[in-house]
């Protein structure tokens, strides 16, 4: 037996070796408890963490979107149908221009929207020397109507002019309801020598409701 082995096996040294094992186990248990505490703190911090807001504007809630949609005027929606308006024949001059004034017939508490766009597109004519120009304006300029000048072709006893009118009417009391209106108009003319220089026709408009 070597001196090292005799020193290791001496009765006085064995208890010292037995004391080392519990110390190592205690150190390992302390480290495990420390790691467990750190992990628990990290988990709690992650739960309390708030999501980072995005750069864009927040998306509105369904209730606010519905309220905004109800607050929008109905004039923003496109017209769903086109109604044809029949106008009695108009007497026009045979040898010169005749100014035809187109007016509106609106129900009570309904008026033309001043700020909404207004448009007239003439898409067909027959028997006229020249087709009139299209009209683009706002409701404020045509709230009482608009004018169009026509002249028949030489020797033509009759003439016609057709087009489409787009206008917006609103509730004149509360201005809370606006309705886009589309009307197809067919104007018929009779050329006579004694016709006046001005004529008048009326286009009925619906109630804003």
Tokens describing residue 74: 């109905």
Whether 66 shows a pLDDT value over 90: the answer reads: no
- Are the C-beta atoms of residues 182 and 79 closer than 8 Å to each other? yes
pLDDT digits 0-9 by tens, 136-167: 999 999 999 999 999 999 999 999 999 999 99
Tokens describing residue 182: 């589309």
CA distance 112 to 103: 11
- Are the C-beta atoms of residues 136 and 170 closer than 8 Å to each other? no
Sorted by where each begins, the domain ranges of the chain are 3-48, 74-204
Q: What is the mean pLDDT of the chain?
A: 77
What pLDDT, on a 0 to 100 scale, did the predictor assign at position 121?
97
Polymer length of the chain: 209
Average pLDDT over residues 61-79: 36
Helices (H), 72-181: none
């Amino acid at each position: 037996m070597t001196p090292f082995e005799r020193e290791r096996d001496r009765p006085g040294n064995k208890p010292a070796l037995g004391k080392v094992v519990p110390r190592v186990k205690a150190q390992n248990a302390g480290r495990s408890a420390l790691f467990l505490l750190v992990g628990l703190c990290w988990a709690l911090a992650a739960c309390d963490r708030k999501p980072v807001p995005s750069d864009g504007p927040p998306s509105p809630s369904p209730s606010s979107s519905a309220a905004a949609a109800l607050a929008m005027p109905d004039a923003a929606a496109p017209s769903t149908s086109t109604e044809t308006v029949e106008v009695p024949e108009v007497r026009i001059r045979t040898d010169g221009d005749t100014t035809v004034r187109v007016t509106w017939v609106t129900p009570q508490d309904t008026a033309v929207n001043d700020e909404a766009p207004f448009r007239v597109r003439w898409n067909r004519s027959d028997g006229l020397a020249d087709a009139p120009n299209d009209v683009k304006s706002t409701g404020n300029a045509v709230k009482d109507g608009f004018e169009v000048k026509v002249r028949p072709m030489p020797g033509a006893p009759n003439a016609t002019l057709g087009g489409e009118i787009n206008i917006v009417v609103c509730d004149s009391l509360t201005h809370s309801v606006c309705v886009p209106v589309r009307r197809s108009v067919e104007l018929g003319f009779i050329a006579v020598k004694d016709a006046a220089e001005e004529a008048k026709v009326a286009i009925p408009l619906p109630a804003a409701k």
